[in-house]
Amino acid sequence: WFLARFHQQTLSQVLLTMGFAFIFSDQALLLWGGDPQSVPVPRALGGTLLLGPVYFPAYRLFVIVVGLAVYLGLWALQEKTRMGATVRAAVDDAEMARGLGIDVWKVFTGVFALGAFLAAAGGVIGGAFLSIYPGADFDVLPLAFVVVIVGGLGSLKGALAGSLLVGLLDNFGKALFPELSYFTLFAPMAMILAIRPTGLFGRP
């Protein structure tokens, strides 16, 4: 209901979501306390794999494969199915979609539920190699925010490109310039927005 009040105002929806994240984070701290929690890695994925001259944690490879599978699944759902066409129609022109008999509210609710499920699944999968602690969400939120802005609002391809770019910038920035880690993350975002205000793949 809150997000529906900002229909087709994607940036406002992102900021509102971050505001709710502050509220939910404090509620979680109140309910479960501040002790760090951990998610055990499945035994089958606990070893390492040899990739050329480098040993790579099997669980990290699993996360990469799952991420690619989710991207391909979302792309196929969006571009190759009737459901995806319905979602795109509702996003592009809600009034016209209603005129064609599409229940736009149900479509948006379903998309929101799918996004919430993927976010929860990402937290569970990532919790196995990132410790879970109060405030962990706000370590991730700036990265997610930059991914959305750099990739382009409403673009699945932009989300993939943005996540790869932001991941590399964040890791190399922390390794090479730890005292400037946020600068190495947000400065490229500002440069990209100066050249392309809609992001890499955002629609005008």
Could you read off the pLDDT of 93-116 as tens digits, one per residue?
888 999 989 999 899 889 989 998
Q: Is the domain of 124 the same as that of 170?
A: no
Domain assignment of residue 118, yes or no:
yes
Answer yes or no: is pLDDT of 83 > 90: yes
Q: Is the domain of 125 the same as that of 110?
A: yes
Whose structure tokens read 């991207």? 71
CA 60 to chain centre: 17
pTM comes to 0.80
Confidence of residue 4 (pLDDT cuts 50, 70, 90): low
The average pLDDT across 111-122 equals 90
The last residue of one of the domains, among 109, 134, 159, is: 134
Q: Is the domain of 129 the same as that of 165?
A: no
Answer yes or no: is pLDDT of 23 > 70: yes
Answer yes or no: is pLDDT of 118 > 90: yes
Domain assignment of residue 3, yes or no:
no
Q: What is the DSSP letter of 42?
A: P
pLDDT score, position 24: 83
Q: Is the domain of 101 the same as that of 149?
A: no
Residue 196, token pair as written in the block: 């392309």
Geometric angle at alpha carbon 86, from 154 and 196, rounded to 5°: 20
Distance (Å, whole) CA 42 – CA 51: 21
| Domain containing residue 168 | 135-203
pLDDT score, position 114: 94
Could you read off the pLDDT of 128-183 as tens digits, one per residue?
887 777 777 778 878 888 898 888 888 889 999 999 998 888 888 888 888 887 88
Q: Is the domain of 76 the same as that of 98?
A: yes
Our count of domains for the chain comes to 2
